[in-house]
Chains A and B, each alone.
Chain A
């Protein structure tokens, strides 16, 4: 048993180091003056971060990304949550269609999708940013669908709606008063997951809008060639942001499971 535990610990440590060393190196690189011929950086500086946060183009790119992904998220929640609810509770026989539709993003490589979208929509007069948002909507379907459907199943949405209807609630009241409050943690987790996916999306953004609507990934790609230290600073900032998002996500999902696992008191 003890032998076993040691093996486990060694494996975990190695995995952790494997994942963590590149990040640590990136972090150090973003803080170093120069780091060429030595094992450790020759000097430490916050210059790259100061540079980065003082670059109006960085702030603009960040703001654009937040607007684009945030907007897509809101539209996705407003459309997908009622749709998934209606299908799982009232029309389960159509669920297999929904399951097929949400797999579309996996069926098509990003570059192919982007080129296709570009050739169809570039002459249509629809702003390419809207087309990008639309393709993002499709891209996050699997995450939204899985998350929302699982929460609906966990809270036993069908029975809850039946109970509410028998107590005199209309279908929409039942949805807003009973279902939405109970699946909010699930919606939050799906949204944050989708948000981090979209935040890191480069292929579609670069081909569809490129420099005309510079998102954070396009900005990162452009600055990569200028200075390694600066792009390290971007990566570190980006990583910290995702860390915060993941932490919030874990908090939300843990709140969901704690509810279920809590020990039942005696009568």
Chain B
């Protein structure tokens, strides 16, 4: 039995169907990501779970309890907002204690819980600071502590790291994942960043136009996209029609289907397993993207891209004719 089950959830704002009979289920202690481009309905889905928007139809069951008609405060879910939403008039300590005070816990217990939360998120020394005196990363950790301290059944995170710069973001991703594993809490994380989703999730629900386009582990979604949308969203996939693919791999490859995706790093310079398809192309452009080098190649009239890790000596330059190898199973049929 799943811990959080959503069934046929629909919601329309005026003429726009934001959620279309959406169903999903999440296990206890899982960290799942709702991933998708802006406007795909991922935040609305999250806010429906929290009770901040009222869906038109469908059901939401958390821990065997139907919560669809409950007030947000009775659902036992926590939420971390993109804008942190810390209470500006309260110190870090009082912000974290807010939920416990609402539950009317006694003073010593509140103090103990707040203290252990501050230790957990690493805000020692900032107990008496006001939110405005903290950096963005610290504010988000305080917001995380405030949501966790009341021990919600599910913690919802609405693009919690989007307002932070890359380094702090990476550090907080790890911290959130660590805390989630340590407490064994169920988390639903909303993001539009596929790298962030792959880095922290047990499972990803990739959404598009109010529906789930594909769900699965990060590896499944990345290596086995089932549609053009997923392939394009998850990486720099080469998306090719059957005739375009034929130009690149030759006429005898025998692939079934009309549309295919090939990850750029699936092209290798050596024939590793011995069964690779030989692909020859003229290098149009070489670009260095940090730790990855990307080539634009051309076979006949067809362009495609290939990538490999950066190395200290780069031999390939524009105008070279290069032979690469491609495994058959890396040519993925798409719908």
Contacts and interface: CB of A to CB of B under 8 A. Distances in A.
A72 B304 CA distance: 74
Nearest to B129: A265
Contacts of A163: 79, 81, 85-87, 146
A169 B98 CA distance: 9
Given A170-B73, A173-B102, A267 B88 contact: no
Interface string A228-247: 00000000000000000000
A90 to B, nearest CB: 12
Interface residues of A, number: 25
B50 A166 contact: yes
A167 B102 contact: yes
A267 B171 CA distance: 11
A264 interface: yes
Given A156-B83, A159-B81, A178-B87, A164 B132 contact: no
Interface string B132-173: 111111100000001100100000000000000000100000
Overall SS of chain A's interface: helix
B77 interface: yes
Contacts of B146: 163, 167
A165 interface: yes
A186 to B, nearest CB: 12
Contacts of B87: 160, 163-164, 178, 182
B138 A168 contact: no
A259 B88 CA distance: 9
A190 B134 CA distance: 29
Contacts of B132: 259-260, 262
Contact of B135 (A167, A169, A259, A267): A267
Nearest to B135: A267
B43 to A, nearest CB: 12
A168 B150 contact: yes
B216 interface: no
Nearest to B96: A167
B83 A159 contact: yes
Nearest to B82: A159
Contacts of B86: 163
A160 B85 contact: yes
Interface in A243-267: 259-260, 262, 264-267
B108 interface: no
B318 interface: no
B108 to A, nearest CB: 20
B112 interface: no
Contact of A168 (B50, B73, B88, B137): B73
A168 B102 contact: yes
Interface residues of B, number: 30
Given A159-B85, A160-B85, A182-B88, A167 B133 contact: no
Nearest to A264: B135
A267 to B, nearest CB: 5
Contacts of B71: 165
B133 A166 contact: no
Contacts of A159: 81, 83, 85
Nearest to A258: B132
Give the most central of A163, A165, A166, A260: most B CB within 10 Å. Answer: A166
Contacts of A155: 88
Given A156-B85, A160-B87, A163-B85, A168 B99 contact: yes
A92 to B, nearest CB: 13
Interface string A177-211: 11001100000000000000000000000000000
A166 B102 contact: no
A162 B72 contact: yes
B254 to A, nearest CB: 55
B78 interface: yes
Contacts of A156: 83, 85
Contacts of A182: 87-89
Interface of A: 155-156, 159-160, 162-170, 173, 177-178, 181-182, 259-260, 262, 264-267
Given A162-B79, A177-B98, A264-B135, 19 more contacts: A156-B83, A159-B85, A162-B52, A162-B72, A162-B81, A163-B81, A166-B52, A166-B73, A167-B78, A167-B99, A168-B102, A170-B73, A173-B102, A178-B89, A181-B89, A259-B132, A260-B132, A265-B133, A266-B135
